[in-house]
Amino acid sequence: MTRVLVLRGEGFHCTEETAAGYAMAGAQVCVASVAQWLSGSVDWQDFELVHLPGGFTHGDALGAGQALAQTLRHGVMADSRAIFGEIRRYLAGGGKLIGVCNGMQILTRAGLLPNLGGQFDQELALAANPSGRFEDRWVRCQGTGMMSGEKPSTYYELPVRHGQGRVVFATPSLQHAAQRQGLLVLRYVDAGGLPTDDYPANPNGSELGIAGLLSADGQVLGLMPHPEAFLMPYNHPRWPERQRSQLPVIAGQADGLALLRHWVLWATPGTTP
């Protein structure tokens, strides 16, 4: 079984929902705190996939994800090993890393995503929503590439819950490179199914409708919507209407669970999702 580590503590939430989703997706799941990892009692090398859930790490006191990102970049573990060196060793061994919402904010601030230059520099930021408010509602997204998943349609309905989700690249050339390399793997779409910059279909104003990104090496994934919040059809706010109209629900699944199943396959050595 593919082994997945889901982190908790430091202000992460959604940990239990995420762990439940991976278990439903057929993975062997371990939930451990950031403190356990930094103490050395839990080793990322024992897992094919490490997941950073959403939340408000350190209360967002220095900005969304900033405090934990700086710890990852400049901190040391209990035995004085550099934390970032251990993360790079994990990725060099083929490990996969996912961050959802606050997890994506951490990955981008730490330079792990999208890492187009290969030097782990911070190449983008997640800025405040132009609406000036915390967006907590459902959106429609289109997955491409490794986010196309197992659904016949590549469209997903998922909830968003964030105040800072607007993807802003450091330079236009970096954005163009990410688009050219196919790293824009999840995008907000309008009623016609086309990627959009327009509110409210796009909750945060990300250019090109960017809702999720893959790293240049294909090992780090970040997205703002919350798949762990849609593990059963009944999680959807319109489930009675969907059931009455018999809209397709694959094997009784929900869109979020379909994505988690795909991620488990993505992280399984020797498989092609």
* Residue 273 located in a structural domain: no
* Residue 79 located in a structural domain: yes
pLDDT at 181: 96
Q: Which token pair is 73?
A: 């970049």
The C-alpha atoms of residue 81 and residue 6 are separated, in whole angstroms, by: 22
| Phi, then psi, of 77 in degrees rounded to 5 | -85, 180
Residue tagged active-site, from 123, 228, 236, 262: 228
What one-character DSSP code corresponds to residue 234?
Answer: G
Answer yes or no: 30 catalytic. Answer: no
Mark the ranges of the chain whose per-residue pLDDT is less than 70.
Answer: 62, 149-153, 244-252, 272-273
Residue tagged active-site, from 101, 135, 162, 236: 101
* Residue 190 located in a structural domain: yes
* Residue 54 located in a structural domain: yes
The structure tokens 């509110």 sit at: 199
* Residue 272 located in a structural domain: no
Answer yes or no: 48 catalytic. Answer: no
How large is the greatest C-alpha to C-alpha distance in the chain, in angstroms?
59
Amino acid identity for residue 219 in this structure: Q
Residue tagged active-site, from 51, 162, 226, 236: 226
Answer yes or no: 226 catalytic. Answer: yes
Amino acid identity for residue 8 in this structure: R
pLDDT at 160: 98
Closest CA to 30 of 71, 72, 2: 2
pLDDT at 251: 44
Give pLDDT tens digits for 97-148.
999 999 999 999 999 999 999 999 999 999 999 999 999 999 999 999 888 8
The C-alpha atoms of residue 126 and residue 65 are separated, in whole angstroms, by: 10
pLDDT at 247: 60
Please tell me the pTM assigned to this model. 0.94
Number of domains comprising the chain = 1
The C-alpha atoms of residue 178 and residue 192 are separated, in whole angstroms, by: 24
pLDDT at 250: 47
CATH of the domain at 180: 3.40.50.880
Domain span at residue 221? 3-267
pLDDT at 149: 65
